[in-house]
């Protein structure tokens, strides 16, 4: 059978970001743009990764993390959020753009 997944923290935050809760969709995307990096690409290359988040509102943080993981060589990145929140900030755009539509 397939190997069991190993819980880990393959990402690190490169810079401080503002709290997402008070930002609209465009500002959320800009806030987390280039805010994360993979710690060791060798631990990601060729792997399937599942991101787990407590709350998803616009998906901007998950999308930013997904892009970094795909750039590091992950073959697939899925996401699981425990809660889906309605944003109290105005939505000024659609869902985050997929930086890797062919993957």
In the prediction, which pLDDT does 85 show? Answer: 85
pLDDT digits (tens, 9 = 90+) for 22-74: 899 999 999 999 999 999 999 899 999 999 999 888 999 999 999 999 999 99
Residue with tokens 């060798």: 42
Q: Which residues are within 8 A (CB) of 60 and not within 5 positions of it... i.e. 6 or more apart? A: 20, 25, 28, 29, 31, 32, 96
Quote the CA–CA distance of 31 and 23 in Å, as a whole number.
9
What is the pTM (predicted TM-score) of this model?
A: 0.75
Strand partners, 37: 12
Residue 91 in this model has a pLDDT that exceeds 90: no
At 86 the pLDDT is 76
Report, as an integer, the average pLDDT of 85-97.
57
Report residue 11's pLDDT band, with 50, 70 and 90 as the boundaries.
very high
């Amino acid at each position: 059978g397939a190997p069991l997944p190993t819980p880990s923290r393959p990402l690190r935050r490169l810079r401080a970001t503002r709290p997402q809760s008070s930002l609209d969709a465009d500002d959320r995307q800009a806030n987390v743009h280039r805010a994360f990096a993979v710690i060791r690409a060798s631990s990601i290359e060729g792997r399937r990764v599942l991101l787990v988040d407590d709350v998803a509102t616009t998906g901007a943080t998950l999308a930013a993390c997904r892009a970094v993981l795909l750039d590091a060589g992950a073959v697939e990145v899925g996401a699981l959020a425990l809660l889906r929140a309605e944003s109290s900030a105005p939505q000024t755009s659609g869902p985050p753009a997929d930086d890797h539509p062919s993957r």
